[in-house]
Amino acid sequence: MAAAKPKHVFSRYQKFLIATLAFLQFTIILDFMIVSPLGAMVMPKLHITPQQFAWVVSSYAFSASASGLLSAGFADRFDRKRLLLFFYTGFTIGTLLCGLATTYPMLLMARIVTGLFGGVIGSVVMAIATDLFALEVRGRVMGFIQTAFAASQVLGLPTALYFANHWDWHAPFLAIIAVIVPVGLLIMLGMKPVTAHLLLKQERSPFSHLVHTVTQPRYRLAFLLVMLLPTGGYMLMPFGTAFMVNNVGVPFTALPTIYLVTGLFTVFVGPVVGRVSDSFGKFNTFCIGSAVSFVMVAIWTNIGHSPLIEVIVINVVMFVGIFSRIIPSQALISAVPDPAQRGAFNAINASLQQFAGAISAAIAGWMIVEQPSGSLSHFNWLGYIVMAILLVSVTLMYFLHKSVPERSRPAVAANASTETV
């Protein structure tokens, strides 16, 4: 008798799809993340204040929030592949404009354009992953896709900072364009249409679809959670490099090393956390990640001048905690919407997430004070706010976990081949 095939083995096409979505996320995350490390270079080059730089970061989030809300009504009315290509094209144009910007207003406008398109892409990726993969394996899928974050640190940020050090801050954006184009071609030529949701009953109008999704009572807790989850990143990341350089005493040339080592660790952490969340429990994994994040944020935001190795260790452990929150929370929240509302639900989520992030970055810019020496004051205040939000998010996630049993709902359809290998 032939041995039974192992359960939940991905098909060749599913593996290709996961890799492609991760590759796409790599470009989106890199474009977003590269702005913060360049802060120590952009602020003196363009002669702008920390408050103005905070608006450079938050402008992306504000525009992404607006486009997410506007696109929500249409998110379930089109082939998700075509929707993905449309927004990815606009994102490419926005990134190019960033690479050509020479003044503060030009950079601000370029980030707004990039956010209008790039901010929606994550919600489309989430809808595709939810449509095509059962909840029992969705932690693994999210874990692999989130390796894009780590890869951006291992490959992207060190390379981008190298370009910035040897040319100027425009070079990283132009280099990202060289990566975006092949990814777009890969999606265009290799990805199958994702259209099974179109067979489900549709609302009469996009506006009705948006209103009915926004006003769905059982979605409210998930909407509140997605507004809280990115707060820490948006508050701490925009000034992370400036804090390391001016407060902790890390040379600017050592930043690529920090991102490289941290990224190498998190490349392996993502898939492991995904597997653990599927087996140990998504809420349990989220709690552990939150506890680690709480401790490390307290340490990080109150650190003084420290050796490079200590800074690296703190960063590595902190990002392990962050990944242990992001992956299980995404998997749990993905189980909330009905199949016919997944696109709209994820677009609204993206809009709320970006809006909350923009507010967080603006608050951080208002609270941070740059001293004549270049050091930043009140960075620890941000840490206390983030720690309080961590505690609130764990409480809310507990109630969401109770309302969404960690079991699969029927898949929308098998757009991806289910043949195992």
In the chain, where the domains are located: 12-195+203-403
* CATH-assigned architecture of domain 12-195+203-403: Up-down Bundle (1.20)
In this predicted structure, what is the pLDDT of residue 154? 61
Helical pair 255-280 and 135-145, crossing angle rounded to 10 deg: 170
In this predicted structure, what is the pLDDT of residue 292? 92
> Whose CA is closest to 243, among 294, 292, 302, 296?
302
Residue 402 CB burial class (10 angstroms; 0-12, 13-18, ≥19): exposed
This model's pTM is above 0.85: no
* Secondary structure (H, E, C), the chain: CCCCCCCCCCCHHHHHHHHHHHHHHHHHHHHHHCCCCCHHHHHHHHCCCHHHHHHHHHHHHHHHHHHHHHHHCCCCCCCHHHHHHHHHHHHHHHHHHHHHCCCHHHHHHHHHHHHHHHHHHHHHHHHHHHHHCCHHHHHHHHHHHCHHHHHHHHHHHHHHHHHHHHCCCCHHHHHHHHHHHHHHHHHHHHCCCCCHHHHCCCCCCHHHHHHHHHCCHHHHHHHHHHHHCCHHHHHHHHHHHHHHHHHHCCCHHHHHHHHHHHHHHHHHHHHHHHHHHHHHCHHHHHHHHHHHHHHHHHHHCCCCCCCHHHHHHHHHHHHHHHHHHHHHHHHHHHCCCCHHHHHHHHHHHHHHHHHHHHHHHHHHHHHCEECCCCCEECHHHHHHHHHHHHHHHHHHHHHHHHHCCCCCCCCCCCCCCCCCC
Indicate the residue type of 108: L
pLDDT per position in the chain (421 positions), as tens?
444 444 556 778 888 888 888 888 888 887 877 777 677 677 777 777 777 777 787 788 778 878 877 777 676 777 888 888 999 999 999 999 988 888 888 888 999 999 888 878 877 887 888 777 776 777 777 777 777 766 665 666 667 777 777 787 888 888 888 888 888 888 888 888 887 777 666 666 677 767 777 778 888 888 888 888 877 777 777 677 778 888 888 887 787 788 778 777 777 777 788 788 877 888 888 999 999 999 998 998 888 888 889 988 988 898 888 878 888 888 788 778 877 777 778 778 877 877 787 778 778 878 877 777 767 787 888 888 889 999 999 999 889 888 776 544 444 444 444 333 3
290-157-34 Cα angle (round to 5): 80
Q: How far is CA 89 from CA 83, 123, 182, in A?
A: 10, 16, 12
